[in-house]
């Protein structure tokens, strides 16, 4: 077996797989002084190994060989994604039509009958090398198109301003999860979030500052959502999170985490440090009243968001269940709940220490 000559990077590599060494010798003598490197292997196994190591531009393959014959070797080469683009020319002493038909059926690109004529072999090799060059260019074009398509797909699903999913992708995801929730009887929650007094920031510092604030808030939303949730920009300063397999109480916890993160965050810290708050509305299928479709889930969550705004902003409002009432929580509510047991204990302690007096004494 011959190895790749040094400095062959710009030369075309022709691999001859034939148990007759005279074939490779003949080609070397014919193409001496040309920009070809002739590599050879005496059987299919050796040839396939050399294909991997040398990446030839064309393969001349004898049909009749001991062990794995040329037809089986051609089929192997043409079914392997790594080697299928390499042109294969079959070498055969047979002139029967059925052998040629079998050769093309195996994936071979051309054939040459023995004994060879230099002009014919030279013409077929040059034709196959042109085919190879065109195929390589086509592969490069396909890769470029695939990369472009991936970029286009990303543009179709991602909001370019915030990096979150866009409204179109949000709707698609919501409808998919709705069908899944209906089919399997699992809860599906939706959080709608809106930056409080965002218009004031825009009017004061301009739209570029507003865009940066949206980007910063999008980071908080993405960080507050769980791996199974889908966060999207709904429009303007409004964002949405789809929460599959999530109850209303758990969705409220997620919304509270984001609300509190926004409350503590300093927006536009490098230029115009701002404190901002966010209001959120939560609705859940099937527990929230009036939720019988994806559109209804959005509407009910949006109504809960409106109630949060109307109640003073910087809070999370959860849509009420059938026959129930809507609930609203803020950081102050949480603080009051945490303090309540202590306050009750203090009140009880004071009552137990209070001196008793008789009715006569009070009069």
**Dihedrals φ, ψ of 82, to 5°?**
-75, -35
Closest CA to 326 of 300, 346, 350, 352: 300
237 is a catalytic site residue: yes
Which residue carries 């059925």 as its tokens?
A: 98
Order of strands across the sheet that contains 58-62: 36-41, 12-17, 58-62, 88-92, 110-113
CA pair distance 131, 317, nearest whole angstrom: 67
Which one of 237, 256, 260, 318 is the catalytic residue? 237
CA pair distance 207, 217, nearest whole angstrom: 15
Closest CA to 268 of 326, 213, 347, 346: 213
Residue 158 DSSP symbol: B
183: tokens are 């089919």
Q: Checking DSSP bridges between strand 58-62 and strand 12-17, what pairing results, if any?
A: parallel
CA 305 to chain centre: 31
5: tokens are 């000559």
Helix or strand holding residue 189 (H, E): strand 188-195
CA 151 to chain centre: 11
* 93 contacts 113 by C-beta, under 8 angstroms: yes
Q: How far is CA 127 from CA 13, 55, 193, 239, in A?
A: 15, 18, 64, 59
Number of Cβ within 10 Å of residue 136's Cβ equals: 12
* 314 contacts 277 by C-beta, under 8 angstroms: yes
Calculate the dihedral angle through the C-alpha atoms of 297, 302, 305, 309, rounding to the nearest 10 degrees.
-160
CA atoms within a 13 Å half-sphere pointing along the CA-CB vector of 12: 20
Catalytic residues: 237
């Amino acid at each position: 077996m011959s190895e790749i000559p040094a400095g062959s990077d710009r030369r075309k590599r022709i691999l001859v797989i034939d148990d007759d060494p005279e074939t490779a010798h003949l080609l070397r003598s014919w193409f001496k002084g040309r920009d070809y490197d002739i590599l050879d292997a005496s059987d299919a196994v050796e040839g396939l190994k050399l294909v991997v190591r040398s990446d030839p531009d064309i393969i001349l393959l004898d049909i009749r060989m001991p062990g794995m014959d040329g037809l089986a070797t051609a089929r192997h080469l043409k079914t392997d994604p790594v080697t299928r683009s390499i042109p294969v020319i079959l070498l055969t002493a047979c002139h029967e039509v059925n052998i040629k038909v079998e050769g093309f059926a195996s994936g071979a690109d051309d054939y040459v009958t023995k004994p060879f004529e230099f002009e014919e072999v030279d013409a077929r090799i040059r034709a196959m090398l042109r085919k190879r060059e065109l195929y390589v260019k086509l592969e490069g074009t396909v890769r470029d198109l695939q990369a472009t398509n991936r970029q286009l797909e990303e543009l179709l699903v991602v909001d370019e301003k915030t990096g979150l999913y866009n409204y179109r992708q949000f709707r698609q995801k919501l409808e998919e999860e709705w069908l899944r929730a209906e089919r399997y009887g699992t809860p599906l929650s939706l959080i709608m979030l809106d930056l409080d007094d965002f218009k004031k920031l825009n009017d004061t510092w301009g739209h570029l500052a507003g865009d940066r604030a949206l980007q910063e808030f999008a980071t908080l939303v993405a960080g507050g959502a769980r791996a199974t949730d889908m966060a999207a920009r709904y429009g303007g300063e409004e964002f949405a999170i789809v929460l599959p397999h999530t109850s209303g109480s758990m969705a409220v916890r997620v919304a509270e985490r984001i609300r509190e993160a926004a409350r503590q965050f300093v927006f536009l810290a490098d230029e115009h440090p701002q404190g901002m708050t966010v209001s959120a509305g939560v609705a859940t299928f099937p527990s929230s009243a009036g939720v019988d479709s994806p559109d209804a889930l959005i509407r009910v969550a949006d109504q809960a968001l409106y109630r949060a705004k109307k109640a003073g902003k910087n809070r999370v409002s959860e849509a009420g269940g059938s026959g129930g009432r809507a609930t609203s929580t803020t950081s102050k509510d949480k603080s009051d709940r945490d303090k309540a047991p202590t306050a009750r204990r203090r009140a009880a302690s004071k009552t137990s220490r209070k001196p008793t007096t008789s009715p006569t004494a009070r009069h």
